[in-house]
Amino acid sequence: MEQDQRIIVGVYHLSKTFGRHFSLHDINLQVANGEFVFLVGPSGAGKSTLLRMVYMDDFPSSGQVVVGPYVSTRMKRSTIPELRRKVGIVFQDFRLLDDQTVFENVALALKVAGVGLGDIKHQVTDILMRVGLYHKRYDFPHELSGGEQQRVAIARAVANRPSVLLADEPTGNLDPVVTKSILELLFKINAGGTAVLMATHDLDLVKSFGQRIIYLEGGRVVKDKDMIFVGDLREKLADSRVSEKADRLEDHDITGEGGRRR
Amino acid sequence: MNLNAFRYVIDESMTMISRRKAGNAISIVIMGLSLLILGVFLLVTINVQAVIDRASEEMRVYVYLKDGTPAAASRDIQMKLLALKGVEEVVFVSRDEALSTFRQTLGDNKDMLGALESNPLPDAYRLKIKTEYIRSEYMEKLAGDVGKWPGIEEVRYGEQWLARGERLVKGFYVTDLAIGLIIFFSVIFVIANTVRLTVLSRQKTIEVAKLVGATNAYIRIPFLVEGALQGAVAALLAVGLLAVIHLFAKRYLPGVLFMRGEAVSGFVLFCALLGALGSYGAMRRFLKV
């Protein structure tokens, strides 16, 4: 299926069944390039399952998922690694490698893409500076706080400059203060032009930001707002606290692609 | 996969192998000893084959002529013998020559021949057979055919000896093959098992690598390298032990042969391939990529 160039993630009539049980039912949603979307719903609503379909760890029973040029129904297994380099993924449990340093954890994403050693050193240094963990580059994950570990995971997820970042309850294990700082980091990344799709069960946490929220319940989309194209984002958020934050953070633009924004 | 990724994969393989030293060492010793058994049998086979080859090399077929065969008929027979395929050389042995050879062979007992009034030995042709034709079936057929020619008294060669030698070598080859097969499977099994343990111990690393976009090759190659290296090291261990055994055997049996250089490298290479194969099999079962 061809889709609007401005849409980075498109989900069309997606259903997923496990056995006879419906997990997701006729899901339709699109995320625009550079958009920040919260996917909110109680545990078991199907948020994680939906995200797994987007990074194609699993495939729909019917319907399809389109991520940039990748279409789930036409996907070859050998193309999945290519997709994964254009989709950053962050989880509640961080999924860092315990026997590798912060630097090595982030470098892994670049290594699997075949980036040269010199470039890896350069880029990882750059990313770690931006997430504020350069001074801990030789630490192992168990020496870091939960918030720091999640920052490493985020650094790894954006190392290949993905066009969309998927975050599955990224703040689920963190206290409110750290949660806020992680959200700020995600906004900062978004301000650099990367679309973010963040799943969370915590509506109270996210409703104050004025971002688009998609509500998922019992495997169905129960409420959604219109897509926000990047150009509209400024106007819509002109007076919200978030945009101030985004402006403030623009100087430290995470992906170095800030100039692309309007 | 580009050159950079390839280098990371090799680094990764080395890290992986060095992290599981104990497990790898145990499998290598088990495989090395299994391969040693095969090696011992191969070595025995090589040596038996060499002895038999050397004996065959010296084997001659004697075609005895009937008494009083005229010279022209004898020359005819010689020409016909030479025309047979598989015959390399035809030498005429006159009865007088045969007698004097016989006398020399008898040495101190040559007086026994004094009792003879005349030479009882017939004229004969001694045939040298091309090595590749020294086989029971061929020799039997040759002896049978030539024996029916007019003017031929008898055809003799070491028929029983040849058949027995052939059976012996055949027996060794069958044994080698059987043991080889058993060891083939045991090596694959041992490698598959080590690789399975490595896969289990690296599940999280594999999962994360896939998440950030590692290709199947990137994930699989370290395991293939691990298997191949294990196979090769086990083969080297077996060859080393075999060399020690050979050294001892040489004290009692000088002239015992060892595997040739090419055979050793072939063996090591084969075991490396076997290792990679075992690893591949294990991955297909245990590594969901």
Which residue from B minimizes the CA distance to A118?
Answer: B4
pLDDT at A112 over 50: yes
Read off the pLDDT of residues B30-47 as tens digits, 9 standing for 90 and up: 889 988 988 888 888 888
Q: Would the CA dihedral through A112, A118, A121, A127 be positive or negative?
A: negative
A3-17, A198-212, A224-238, B219-233: range with lowest mean pLDDT = A224-238
B3, B211, B213: residue with CB nearest A113: B213
Model's pTM, two decimal places?
0.71
Query: Tell me, what's the pLDDT at A228?
Result: 65
Weakly modelled stretches of chain B, pLDDT under 50: none
Query: Tell me, what's the pLDDT at B255?
Result: 79
Each as own residue / partner, the long-range contacts of residues B2-6 (CB below 8 Å, 24 or more positions apart, any chain) are: B2/A114, B3/A114, B4/A111, B4/A114, B4/A115, B4/A116, B4/A117, B5/A111, B5/A112, B5/A113, B5/A114, B5/B215, B5/B218
Of the residues A82, A86, A111, the best mutation for testing chain B's interface (the one with the most B CB atoms within 10 Å of its CB) is: A111
Query: Tell me, what's the pLDDT at A244?
Result: 46
Query: Tell me, what's the pLDDT at B191?
Result: 81
Read off the pLDDT band of A155 (50, 70, 90): very high
Read off the pLDDT band of A30 (50, 70, 90): very high
Query: Tell me, what's the pLDDT at A1?
Result: 54
* Choice between B44 and A82, residue whose per-residue pLDDT is larger: A82
**Which residues are CB-contacts of A123 (< 8 A; sequence separation ≥ 6)?**
A110, A115, A159
Query: Tell me, what's the pLDDT at A102?
Result: 97
How many C-beta neighbours within 10 Å does residue A120 have? 22
Query: Tell me, what's the pLDDT at A230?
Result: 56
Query: Tell me, what's the pLDDT at A2?
Result: 58
Residue % of chain A over a pLDDT of 70: 85
Read off the pLDDT of residues B215-244 as tens digits, 9 standing for 90 and up: 888 888 888 998 899 899 999 999 999 999
With H, G, I as helix, E, B as strand and everything else as coil, classify residue A215: strand
How many C-beta neighbours within 10 Å does residue A225 have? 11
Read off the pLDDT of residues A253-262 as tens digits, 9 standing for 90 and up: 444 444 443 3
Q: What distance in Å separates residue B212's CA from the closest CA in chain A?
A: 5
Q: DSSP assignment, residue A38? A: E
Query: Tell me, what's the pLDDT at A196?
Result: 96
Query: Tell me, what's the pLDDT at A51?
Result: 96
**Which residues are CB-contacts of A253 (< 8 A; sequence separation ≥ 6)?**
A188, A191, A192
Query: Tell me, what's the pLDDT at B110?
Result: 66
Q: Is the ipTM of this complex over 0.85?
A: no
Q: What is the mean pLDDT of residues A124-145?
A: 95
Q: Which residues of B touch A157 (CB under 8 A)?
A: 212
Read off the pLDDT of residues A43-72 as tens digits, 9 standing for 90 and up: 889 999 999 999 999 999 999 999 999 999
Of the residues B12, B212, B289, the best mutation for testing chain A's interface (the one with the most A CB atoms within 10 Å of its CB) is: B212
pLDDT at A234 over 60: no
Cα gap B280→B289, rounded to integer Å: 12
The answer to whether the Cβ–Cβ distance between B210 and A109 falls below 8 Å is no
Query: Tell me, what's the pLDDT at B78?
Result: 86
Q: What distance in Å separates residue B30's CA from the closest CA in chain A?
A: 30
Query: Tell me, what's the pLDDT at A250?
Result: 44
Mean residue pLDDT across chain A: 86
Which residue from B minimizes the CA distance to A82?
Answer: B213
